[in-house]
């Protein structure tokens, strides 16, 4: 679940119908026997958040990913005077995130976005066959 206050920079989770909130935005919930506080940035959290962002929010904001990446590819192709395809867009957006991580490896959004771009690229590559 994405924190509505920080817009995904930190996270909330539901455990036994109780919510653990983003410690950067709200008062963190104390760990009790009923609520086990998990690390705020685990591999599962990265992948869960990337899945959430690539499954719901993005399609509503930008339309179908294949069409959005095609639009981007067409613009880049025109600008570069070199053909770029939808899969190239996913790869190059991932490389953008890698470049940002090189400068700041603690920036959580870049890890999440990188996973999302790779997943979207994998999906698009399957539909191209």
pLDDT higher than 80, residue 52 = yes
| Residue among 122, 100, 109 nearest 2 (CA) | 109
For 18, phi then psi, to 5°, come to -110, 145
Average of pLDDT values for 79-84?
A: 97
| Residue among 62, 64, 87 nearest 76 (CA) | 87
In the block, tokens 């009923």 appear at 34
Comparison of pLDDT for 113 and 56, the residue scoring more: 113
Average of pLDDT values for 45-60?
A: 83
pLDDT in tens, 88-98: 999 999 999 99
pLDDT, position 25: 54
From residue 113, give the alpha-carbon distance in Å to each of 12, 58, 82.
17, 12, 26
| Residue among 7, 85, 108, 34 nearest 20 (CA) | 34
Residue 85's pLDDT band (boundaries 50, 70, 90)? Answer: very high
């Amino acid at each position: 679940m994405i924190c509505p206050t920080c817009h995904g920079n930190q996270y909330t989770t539901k455990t036994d119908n109780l919510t653990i909130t983003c410690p950067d935005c709200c008062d963190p919930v104390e760990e009790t026997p009923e609520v086990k506080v998990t690390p705020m940035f685990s591999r599962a959290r990265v992948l869960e958040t990337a899945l959430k962002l690539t499954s719901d929010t993005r399609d509503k904001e930008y339309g179908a990913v294949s069409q959005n990446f095609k639009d981007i590819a067409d613009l880049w192709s025109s600008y570069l005077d070199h053909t770029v395809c939808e899969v190239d867009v996913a790869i190059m957006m991932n490389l953008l995130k890698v470049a940002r991580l090189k400068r700041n490896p603690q920036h959580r959004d870049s890890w999440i976005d990188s996973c999302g771009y790779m997943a979207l690229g994998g999906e698009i590559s399957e539909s191209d066959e």
